[in-house]
Structure 1
Amino acid sequence: MLTAGVPASVARAGPPSGLRADAAQVAEPLPGSEAPVPAVARTWPVGVRPEVVRGWDPPAHPYGPGHRGVDLAAAEGDPVRSVAAGRVAFAGRVAGRGVVSVDLAGTGEPPLRTTYEPVRASVHTGDEVGPGTVLGVLEPPTGHCAGPCLHWGLRRGKAYLNPLSLLRTGPSRLLPVNGVPLP
C-alpha cells in the first residue's frame, strides 16, 4: 500500500518514516540525536514528483560505504529549489561540482541542513530562502548517476539523515478560501 501523494519510486527507495529519525534513518548517530526530523518540506527540490534514481543507503559506520542522500532524476538546466525556508550556509564548488547547502529554519540546534549538487548557484552564502526559492540550475552530469540527476542530502550536525523524511506523507487537505472559521 502506498501513501497518498508519494510516488511508487519513492516508496521503493525507502519511504519516509514520518517524524522519527531512527537507526534506519540515521547514518552516524550522535549522542542525544533522537530528535525527530520534522516534515518541513513544502516542495520537491526538482520537478513535481521526480523519479528517485538511487535511494538512501546509510553506511554501517561513519566511513563505510553507502549513499548519504537520494538521487532525483532531472534534466540539465532544470531549476533546483529549496524544499523549505532557511538560510544558505554554502554556495560554491567542492571537488569540481557546484554545491548549495541550506540550514532549515526552525529545525532545532544544530539545524537540519539540506545539500543539493551539482548545482550552478544563483544564491549566495547568507541569503534567506523560502520554500520553492530557486537556488540555481542543475549542472551537467558528473558521473554520479547514469544520466543527469540531483543529489539531495540531509544532515543534522555530523549525522546524515534520509532527506525523504522531510516530505509530508499524509494526504493533502483542501481548505475553503472564504469563510474559514477562526479558532
Structure 2
Amino acid sequence: MTTLLLGLLLVLARTALPAALPTASPAPPPVAPPVVRPLPAPLSVERWWDPPPTPYAAGHRGVDLAAPVGAELRAVAAGRVHHAGQVAGRGVLSLALPNGLRTTYEPVRPLVAEGEEVAAGQVVAVLTEGSHCPVPCLHWGLLSGEAYLNPLALLARPTPRLLPEPRPDGV
C-alpha cells in the first residue's frame, strides 16, 4: 500500500508541475555563506528561468518573483554594488559577489551606491512599478561573466520530509 501511494504521489507531482519547467543549469560557483533570499519566504515564482539557446536568442535570463511594489529587497550575499541606476528607463541594481558572480534586481529604487560594500541580508533596494509581469514582480538575475545562470541555484534546497501514513482508525 505504501509503495502504491508513493508511486501515485510521484506521478501526481510530475503532472502538477508547470509545463515550462526551468531547464537544468550549471551550478554556480559556491558563494560564501550566508546566502539569503532577496524577498521574505515563501518565494512565489511568476516566471521561471528559461535560458536562450544562443546569446542573442529569446529567453528569460532570470526569475520573476511576485512581490508588492515597495517590497524591501535584500542582498543575497555579501558583495559590492556593481551598478545602481537606470538601464533602459528602469531602475536596476547589480551586486558583484566575491566569487565572480553578479546578482541583478529590477525594477528597483536602489538604496545603495556604486562601489558600496553590502552585507548578506542588507536591504539594498525597494521594488518599484514597471515589471513585465501581470502582477508586480522582481526580476532577479545571476551572471557568471557574460553567462546567465539560474539565480534559484543560489538558495538552499528544501529538505523533503516523508509524513507518516494515517492509521486506519483515523488517528
TM (normalized to structure 1)? 0.71
Tell me, which stretches of 5 or more residues in structure 1 are unaligned? 3-7, 15-22, 27-34, 172-183
The DSSP-based 3-state class of the residue aligned with 2:152 is: helix
Partners of 2:90 and 2:130 within 8 A in 1: no
CA RMSD of aligned residues (A): 2.7
1:37 alignment partner in structure 2: 29
1:152 alignment partner in structure 2: 140
The amino acid of 1:169's aligned partner reads R
Pairwise mapping of residues 114-129 of structure 1 onto structure 2 (< 5 A)? 114-129=103-118
2:152 alignment partner in structure 1: 164
1:48 alignment partner in structure 2: 41
From the CA coordinates, give the structure whose radius of gyration is larger: 2
- How far apart in 2 are the matches of 1:41 and 1:75? 25
- How far apart in 2 are the matches of 1:127 and 1:44? 20
1:89 alignment partner in structure 2: 82
1:5 alignment partner in structure 2: none
Per the TM alignment, residue 170 of structure 1 is displaced from its structure 2 partner at its CA by 5.4
- How far apart in 2 are the matches of 1:62 and 1:41? 31
Partners of 1:37 and 1:165 within 8 A in 2: no
Partners of 2:77 and 2:121 within 8 A in 1: yes
Deviations 1:57-110 (A, max 9, x none): 0001110011000000000001011101100000000111100000112x1xxx
Tell me, which stretches of 5 or more residues in structure 2 are unaligned? 1-8, 11-15, 160-171
Pairwise mapping of residues 71-150 of structure 1 onto structure 2 (< 5 A)? 71-105=64-98, 107=99, 111-142=100-131, 144-150=132-138
- How far apart in 1 are the matches of 2:38 and 2:28? 21
Distance 1:50 1:166, change over 3 A: same
Partners of 1:76 and 1:141 within 8 A in 2: no
Partners of 1:47 and 1:74 within 8 A in 2: no
Aligned residues with identical type, % of pairs: 54
- How far apart in 2 are the matches of 1:37 and 1:168? 14
Tell me which of the two structures has the higher relative contact order, counting C-alpha pairs closer than 8 angstroms and 6 or more residues apart: 1
TM (normalized to structure 2)? 0.76
